[in-house]
Amino acid sequence: MMTKTNIQSNPQGETFFLNLRFLLMICVFIGNAIEPLIQDITAMHALYMWIFTFHMPLFVFVTGYFAKANLLGQPGRRLMLQISLQYVIFQSLYSILDVTVFKVQNVHHSFFAPYLLLWFLASHFCWRLLLILLSKWTPLQQLAASLTLGVLVGYLQVDGAWLSLSRTFVYLPFFIAGYHFSFVSAAKLFTPGVRISAGALAAVLLGAVSLWGHYIDPGWLYGSMTFSQLGHSEWYAGTYRLALYALQLLAGIAFLAVVPLQESRLTDLGRRTLYVFLLHGFIIRFAAVSPLYKYVTNTAASVLLVIGAILLTLLLSHSLIRKWTSPVIEPPVQWLLNLERRAFRPFGAASKH
């Protein structure tokens, strides 16, 4: 339980959200690792569907929360440039490896079609722009508009994966909610009774997914497909997304309430989740083209795979990984800012005469 003193010493909830971010990164890695198994192993299908009810909405929520510190001004511009560089670098790396190492067939490589997990970078860039555009509106108006857009985008007759268009708008409400989230107010609700109840709710949701998850098309949980791509052209198809938002909200609250509040080793690991996120895709790709999944044919073997995903998350979060890969994961952007300054200097000088 977080006492009043704890709340005052951590007014922005950084510790809580770093803990949350690392736990979600574990879920991301596990979800991607077990995806090839969900058609054959019932337990992995249940775990996969359960994870997808909350992990991406909450990941976007966390991203919105941390955007408070650097949405506008020079810090905001610097981060936008860094996101752009990350996208170009990793879109190129994954595409090159697909052709030269992984030998993946029938994949369309384009900077306008984010590669697998890189949709998050494209959408993150857009979420920031959209929030700036909506900055004159009240938080409630922003949230209402984002929910409306999240539903309406499903009716578009386009490929939802193009420029991560669908996911950008589907997950926009969670980014806005995270940006305006007040940790001080929410932390007062994290009593032992609430946390126990939330843990029970999370277990109930896992059980419900185990029993009825096969009735839900996973495409709804990805947020990348339009209603017609999901086989629903009815005029009321948007109500399904609203129902899904309700499920994701419930599952997200249940998970939030069981996240540790105290600073620990988990908190430090949460500062390096970007490294896990951008690098774990290479491991997943190598695993997919290796014979690994031929040997994972039962629940016991799949549990070992889950443990392996957790251990690899810990490994990629190590400070040495950050030291070795930071030029690529967090590329310097000062040179771009300098170029921009030099490019516009003549215009500024001309305007003075």
**How many whole angstroms separate alpha carbon 58 and alpha carbon 24?**
8
* Cα 131 from Cα 128, distance rounded (Å): 5
- pLDDT (tens digit per residue) in 79-129: 999 999 999 999 999 888 888 887 777 666 677 788 889 999 999 999 999
**The residue count for the chain:** 353
Structure tokens at 21: 């971010």
Q: Decide: 37 and 3 in contact? Cβ < 8 Å.
A: no
CA-closest candidate to residue 126, choices 170, 89, 156, 93: 170
Q: Cβ distance 250 to 208 under 8 Å?
A: no
E-strand ranges in 111-252 read none
Tell me the whole-structure pTM to 2 decimals: 0.90
Ordered per-residue pLDDT tens for the chain, 353 residues: 333 334 334 545 899 999 999 999 999 999 999 999 999 999 999 999 999 999 999 999 999 999 998 999 888 999 999 999 999 999 999 888 888 887 777 666 677 788 889 999 999 999 999 999 999 999 999 999 999 999 999 999 877 667 788 999 999 999 999 999 988 877 777 788 888 888 888 888 888 887 887 888 899 999 999 999 999 999 999 999 999 999 999 999 889 888 988 889 999 999 999 999 999 999 999 999 899 999 999 999 999 999 999 999 999 999 999 999 999 999 988 877 777 777 766 555 554 55
What's the gap between Cα 142 and its chain centre?
20
Model confidence pLDDT, tens digit, residues 278-296: 999 999 999 998 999 999 9
Task: Give the span between the Cα atoms of 11 and 5, in whole angstroms.
Answer: 10
